[in-house]
Structure 1
Amino acid sequence: MPTPSRILVPVDLMEGSRAIIDYAVQLATPFNASIEILHAWEPPQYVAPDLLVAAPGWNPQSLEKTALDAARKELEVLIGGFKGSVPITHRLEVGEPAAAVIRVAEVGGFDLIIMGTHGRRGLPRLLLGSVAQKVIARAHCPVLTLHVPEEK
């Protein structure tokens, strides 16, 4: 089996994302593999993504632009501590997270996906689905999942 050279790390920017990236960096370092951090923003089902968000004294902008700007800032802060150990890039995608991960992995020629799973069971899993499960079922390359404990 070939060693990984391009690793895709999807994150939800929630608790545990830093631990997932840290693990990916530790795994990538001996192989000098590059890492791309991916965050997929899914527009809410109940409002249009071009809905304008405004406050007094502030230029109105679309919900999508506001959400992507906030996610971009969070990603930059999140990966700021990892610069220099291995090549790390980041990107944002709009769409259903599992589909975005599959698309980016295939188009980008990644040979490993490292992602977290919250391990939900019962009704929460039924309502929220499992992005990791969908990615594992459809990915063209190996997927390594790490359990991310739920916040207390």
Structure 2
Amino acid sequence: MLPDVKTILYASDIEEGSRPAFRAAVSMAGHYDATITFLHVIEPLSATARSILKTMMNDADLNEMHDSSVINLKNKLISRIESFCETELDATEAMKEGQIIPRVEEGVADRVILKVANEIGADLIVMGTRTHSSVGQFLLGSTANRVMHHTQKPVLVIPLK
């Protein structure tokens, strides 16, 4: 049995097939009357990519493009959350106004997930994981594995197709 869950961090790559993990987060939120922070992490540009972009645009334009992209992603998250709630939840599962909080952060995914979980005082982290080859899993690990090994918080991992 989980301890009292009032704050859930749902970490999503917002890729196709991630709905089962979000559905699990919504189900847990409904069961515990908890809030969900819907987190999407933007991986930072590599030094090479940033260097190439800097040869084509000045810092002000690069920063404006970055800020615009973050705003667009946050709007996409809000749209996906609203669409999910309208099309997939029935009246008994309906979320309250403000019960889902969209958040976009930049950084290395597992580190950002752990940082945000601590910032918001998450009682539970919910995330999906995609199947990878065992060699790939061994060499690289997965974001879910790294999060599970570096947190004391319960982590609910949902296998995705």
Between the two proteins, what is the percent identity of the paired residues?
30
Q: Contact between 1:38 and 1:90, CA under 8 Å: does it hold in 2?
A: yes
Unaligned runs of 5+ in 2: 87-93
Cα displacement (A) at 1:61: 4.9
Amino acid aligned to 2:74: R
Count of matched residue positions in the alignment of Structure 1 and Structure 2: 146
Structure 1 segment 28-67 matched on structure 2, within 5 A:
28-45=29-46, 46-48=48-50, 51=53, 60-62=61-63, 63-67=65-69
Specify which of 110, 127, 143 is matched with residue 98 of structure 1. 110
Counterpart for residue 80 of structure 1 = 82
Q: Higher relative contact order at CA 8 Å, sep ≥6: structure 1 or structure 2?
A: 2
Amino acid aligned to 1:18: R
Counterpart for residue 57 of structure 1 = none
Question: What do the CA deviations read for 1:57-79 (whole angstroms, capped 9, x no partner)?
Answer: xxx55452243133212201111
State the 4+ residue runs in structure 1 displaced beyond 6 angstroms: none
Cα gap change, 1:128/1:15 in structure 2, threshold over 3 Å: closer, same or farther? farther
- Taking structure 1 as the reference length, the TM-score comes to 0.81
- Taking structure 2 as the reference length, the TM-score comes to 0.77
Counterpart for residue 89 of structure 2 = none
The structure richer in helix per residue is: 2
Amino acid aligned to 2:82: G
Amino acid aligned to 1:38: L
Specify which of 107, 111, 118 is matched with residue 119 of structure 2. 107
Q: Contact between 2:20 and 2:158, CA under 8 Å: does it hold in 1?
A: no
Counterpart for residue 91 of structure 2 = none
Cα gap change, 1:124/1:64 in structure 2, threshold over 3 Å: closer, same or farther? farther
Cα gap change, 1:128/1:16 in structure 2, threshold over 3 Å: closer, same or farther? farther
Cα gap change, 1:127/1:77 in structure 2, threshold over 3 Å: closer, same or farther? farther
Residue 19 of structure 1 pairs with residue 20 of structure 2: yes
